[in-house]
Copies of this chain bind each other. A is one copy, B any other.
Amino acid sequence: MTAPRHIFYISDRTGLTAENIGEALLNQFGNLEFKRSTFPFIDTPEKAQAVVEKISQAATASGQRPIAFVSVVNTNIRSIIQSANAFQINFFDTFLPDLEKELHTEAVQAVQGHHGIGDTERYDARMEAVNFSLSHDDGISDKNLKEADVILMGVSRSGKTPTCLYLAMQYGIRAANYPLIPDDLESSDLPRMIKPYKDKIFGLTIQPERLQAIRQERRPNSTYAEIRTCRSEVADAQAMFKRHGIPFTNTTDKSVEELAVHILQACKLKRRF
C-alpha cells in the first residue's frame, strides 16, 4: 500500500477555481485516495516560497511528488510555484497563450475581479436575492410571491430552502418557497395563495425513504417522520404536480448545484449576474 497522493490547491485568490477543476479531474480516479490542502491568497513571493517548502516536505514525507493545481494570475508568483517538486496543472499557463492568439489580445494580469470581487452591483443583487429568500423563509406573503422569479413547491424537507439560497447566492435569483402541508395535499386544487402564480411554480419531490431519514433526524419518532406519512405526502404532491402540469424534479440524488441549474433551465430563468 502506498500513502495517498498529496494534492495542493494553490491560488492567489480563494482557490475555488483550482479546487473545482481539480476535483472534477481527480474524480476520474475514483478508486485512488488523496490528501488535500488548499493554499488561498498566495499573493507574495514569500508566501509562494513557503508553499514550495511545504510541497518539498510533503514529497519527502510521502516518498511521492505531490500534485499541484495552480490558479495563480501573477506570473512572478507562478514562476516561484513552478520550481516546486510537484506534478503541476496550471490553468493560466496552459490556456492563456492560445486564448491570447485567438482573441488577438494580450492578457492583463488582473487578479481583481476574477470572481467578481469589488463588483458592487453583483454584491447588491446577491444580497437582495439572499435577503429575499431569508425574509421569505419566515412566512409567505402575497407580495413576496408576486416578486419571486420562481416558487419552489414541495413537502416539508424536500430540499426547498437550500436550493432557494443557492439560486440566490450563485445567480441572484429571487426564489420563494411554498411548503405543501397536509391540508394542501388533501385538496385536488392548487393552494389558493399560489394559484395566481402557477406559471412560476417548480415542484420538488423526493424518495420517501430519504425523506423519512431527513425528518427522523429532525423530529425523531414523530408521525411526521413515519415512512407512511412520507410516502403519502410525496405521492399526493406528485399527483398535484401532474394534475396541474407543474414541472418538477426528484431531489434525492441531486446536489444543490444540480437542482439549481436544472431549475434555471426548466423555468428559463435569467441570471441576475
Taking Cβ atoms with an 8 Å cutoff, the residues of A that contact B are 5, 13-17, 20-21, 23-25, 27-32, 40-41, 67, 71, 73, 87, 89, 91-92, 94-96, 98-99, 102-103, 105, 107-110, 113-120, 122-124, 126-127, 130-131, 134, 137-138, 161-162, 165-166, 169-170, 210, 214, 217, 253-258, 260-262, 265
**Majority-rule SS of A interface residues:** helix
Question: Chain B residue with minimal CB distance to A251?
Answer: B123
Complex CA–CA separation, A185 to B165 (angstroms): 31
Q: Which residues of B contact A98 (CB under 8 A)?
A: 87, 89
Which of B24, B41, B94, B105 contacts A114 (CB under 8 A)? B24
A-B contact list, 29 entries, CB within 8 Å = A14-B261, A15-B261, A16-B170, A17-B21, A17-B24, A20-B20, A24-B92, A24-B114, A27-B110, A27-B113, A27-B114, A29-B107, A30-B113, A32-B103, A40-B261, A41-B262, A41-B265, A87-B98, A87-B102, A115-B255, A118-B255, A123-B256, A126-B256, A130-B161, A131-B161, A134-B161, A138-B138, A165-B169, A169-B169
- In the assembled complex, the CB of A215 is this many whole angstroms from the nearest CB of chain B, namely 12
Q: Which residues of B contact A95 (CB under 8 A)?
A: 25, 89, 94
- In the assembled complex, the CB of A139 is this many whole angstroms from the nearest CB of chain B, namely 12
Q: Which residues of B contact A126 (CB under 8 A)?
A: 162, 256
Which of B31, B120, B122, B256 contacts A105 (CB under 8 A)? B31
B127-A214 in contact (CB<8A): yes
What is the copy number of this chain in the assembly?
2
- In the assembled complex, the CB of A144 is this many whole angstroms from the nearest CB of chain B, namely 16
A130-B165 in contact (CB<8A): yes
B25-A96 in contact (CB<8A): yes
Q: Which residues of B contact A169 (CB under 8 A)?
A: 162, 165-166, 169, 256
B14-A91 in contact (CB<8A): no
Q: Which residues of B contact A29 (CB under 8 A)?
A: 99, 103, 105, 107-108
B162-A257 in contact (CB<8A): no
Q: Which residues of B contact A119 (CB under 8 A)?
A: 255
Question: Chain B residue with minimal CB distance to A106?
Answer: B29
B91-A25 in contact (CB<8A): yes
Complex CA–CA separation, A16 to B40 (angstroms): 20
- Pick the most buried of A87, A105, A256, A260: most chain B CB atoms within 10 A of its CB: A256
Q: Which residues of B contact A91 (CB under 8 A)?
A: 21, 24-25
Q: Which residues of B contact A161 (CB under 8 A)?
A: 130-131, 134
